[in-house]
Amino acid sequence: MPPDNAPLAHAHGGGSNPRQRRQLANIGLYLLLTSLAMLFGSSMLVYLLIRTRVFGDASLIPPLGAIHAPQSLLLSTAIMLLSSYTIHQALRSVRFERQTALRRFLLFTLILAVAFIIVQAPSLAILLRDHYAAMHGHRVFLYGMIFFLILIHAAHVLGGIIALVVTLKHAYAGRYDHEHHQGVRHTALYWHFLDIVWLIMFILFFALR
């Protein structure tokens, strides 16, 4: 913690009812995560119902085992799990006043987040190619649905990258300590949420190929 507490006071509202500001920020985050859970949950449910032939013309839906998911999704999963570990270590570090470790783990998480997007790009290109190929066969566009789900997840990962950049900037400015680290906590919660969503999607895609 820096000897001058002015940066911390500025970052946390400078005494203008900081507890209320923290409560409002918590509510905002939980509302965001709830809305995203509904978005991803409903999208995956639709995919599940179509893939299992509950909805749609069964004759147009390929049998199980006919969908070829890109193998690079395995690497994406490993990266996502590792980034969830590093953001957890960042949160743990700030709670124990380990400022250097906090900045290091936040930086590691940011690098892994960018790597995740880079790895996802060719996976999306493969899915889009297979989607257009399936269109010529007049089949249900399962590749397109997988492409859409991965794309909206990647879009929210980009939002997480922005949050990581801001959090890392504040960490280097010395704005977090063991008492005041809401920014780190919120970023970690958001990132863990994206990790859980990705794992569910990954299991769904590979279980119902």
pLDDT band at 119 (very low <50, low <70, confident <90, very high): very high
pLDDT band at 146 (very low <50, low <70, confident <90, very high): confident
**3-class DSSP state of 154:** helix
**pLDDT(3) > 50:** no
**pLDDT(64) > 60:** yes
Supply angle C-alpha 179, 30, 81, rounded to 5. Answer: 80
At 52 the pLDDT is 82
Domain 15-207 has CATH 1.20.120.80: yes
Work out the average pLDDT over 116-130. Answer: 89
At 70 the pLDDT is 84
**Token pair belonging to 2:** 């820096």
129 vs 61: which has the higher pLDDT: 129
State the Cα–Cα distance between residues 94 and 83, nearest whole angstrom. Answer: 17
**Token pair belonging to 91:** 């949160």
pLDDT band at 129 (very low <50, low <70, confident <90, very high): confident
9 vs 114: which has the higher pLDDT: 114
Work out the average pLDDT over 61-75. Answer: 80
At 13 the pLDDT is 43
Work out the average pLDDT over 70-83. Answer: 93
State the Cα–Cα distance between residues 67 and 176, nearest whole angstrom. Answer: 47
Which pLDDT tens digit goes with each residue over 16-29?
577 888 889 889 99
Give strand ranges (E) for 79-143: none
Q: Using alpha carbons, select from 43, 48, 45 the residue that is nearest to residue 61.
A: 48
Render the burial of 146-171: b for 16+ CB within 10 Å, e for the rest.
bbebbeebbebbeebbebbeebbebb
pLDDT band at 136 (very low <50, low <70, confident <90, very high): low
Q: Using alpha carbons, select from 205, 208, 194 the residue that is nearest to residue 37.
A: 194
**pLDDT(9) > 50:** no
Q: Can you tell me which residue has the tokens 């790009």?
A: 121
How crowded is residue 66: how many other Cβ atoms within 10 Å of its Cβ?
A: 10
At 162 the pLDDT is 97
